[in-house]
């Protein structure tokens, strides 16, 4: 293990990222290392294993961060797609509502016009029938007058005939 690795490990341990005593093993190590610094071959092997283990953990953490970042990006894309779909659906629904409103308004106007036309036809028919009724009443009155006049004429003629018959005898 080089001096730079030992310094980095000491700094790592000083920042509070100790993984079970690494700091205690290397507290007595001088920056230059050496035989008189109090570290033996067994400590060096364990330190190397722990450093490798620490590098593995860092690698695992970096991999987890990378995977989480990928998942976050994927979820962001999904949210963006869902927002886009929502906006599309809203615009489609708005257009359909407008189309339906226009269609219903047109249908309402058509039905109103048809009702007006039927009402106008009904009114014209009613007036025509009313005129015919008035005409028929007038004709009836005229006929009644003619009947009364004729009945009087018949009575006059009967009286004349009756007087002529009596006179002939």
> What is the helix (H) or strand (E) element at residue 33, kind and residue range?
none
Domains of the chain: total: 1
Q: Is residue 9 part of a domain?
A: no
Q: Whole domain around residue 56: which residue ranges?
A: 40-122+124-168
Tell me the whole-structure pTM to 2 decimals. Answer: 0.43
Q: Tell me the C-alpha distance between 23 and 8, whole Å.
A: 11
pLDDT greater than 90 at residue 14: no
Q: Is residue 8 part of a domain?
A: no
pLDDT for position 164: 67
Q: Is residue 33 part of a domain?
A: no
Q: Is residue 69 part of a domain?
A: yes
User: Can you tell me the mean pLDDT for 6-33?
Assistant: 45
Is the distance from CB of 1 to CB of 47 less than 8 angstroms?
Answer: yes
Neighbours of 127 (CB within 10 A): 10
Burial code (b: 16+ CB inside 10 Å, e: under 16) for 32-63 equals eeeeeeebeeeeeebbeebbeebeeeeeeeee
Q: Tell me the C-alpha distance between 150 and 153, whole Å.
A: 5
pLDDT for position 169: 56
Q: Is residue 54 part of a domain?
A: yes
Q: Is residue 25 part of a domain?
A: no
pLDDT for position 37: 41
3-state secondary structure 132-158: HHHHHHHHHHHHHHHHHHHHHHHHHHH
Q: Is residue 30 part of a domain?
A: no
Q: Tell me the C-alpha distance between 33 and 30, whole Å.
A: 5
Pseudo-torsion of CA 23, 24, 25, 28, nearest 10°? 100
User: Can you tell me the mean pLDDT for 10-31?
Assistant: 44
* 54 Cβ contact partners less than 8 Å away, ≥ 6 residues apart: 9, 12, 19, 22
User: Can you tell me the mean pLDDT for 32-56?
Assistant: 56
pLDDT greater than 70 at residue 140: yes
3 closest CA partner among 26, 21, 36:
26
Q: Is residue 100 part of a domain?
A: yes
């Amino acid at each position: 293990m080089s001096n730079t690795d030992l310094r980095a490990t000491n700094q790592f341990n000083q920042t509070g990222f100790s993984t079970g005593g690494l700091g205690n093993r290397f507290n007595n190590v001088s920056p230059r290392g050496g035989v008189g610094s109090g570290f033996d071959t067994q400590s060096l092997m364990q330190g190397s294993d722990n450093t490798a283990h620490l590098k593995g953990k860092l690698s695992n953490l970096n991999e987890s961060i990378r995977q989480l970042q990928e998942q976050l990006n994927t979820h962001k894309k999904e949210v963006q797609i869902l927002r886009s779909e929502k906006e599309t659906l809203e615009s489609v629904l708005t257009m359909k509502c407008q189309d339906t409103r226009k269609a219903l308004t047109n249908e309402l106007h058509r039905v109103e016009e048809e009702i007006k036309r039927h009402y106008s036809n009904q009114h014209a028919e009613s007036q025509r029938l009313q005129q015919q009724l008035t005409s028929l009443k007038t004709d009836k009155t005229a006929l009644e007058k003619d009947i009364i006049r004729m009945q009087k004429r018949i009575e006059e003629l009967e009286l004349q005939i009756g007087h002529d018959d009596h006179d002939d005898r």
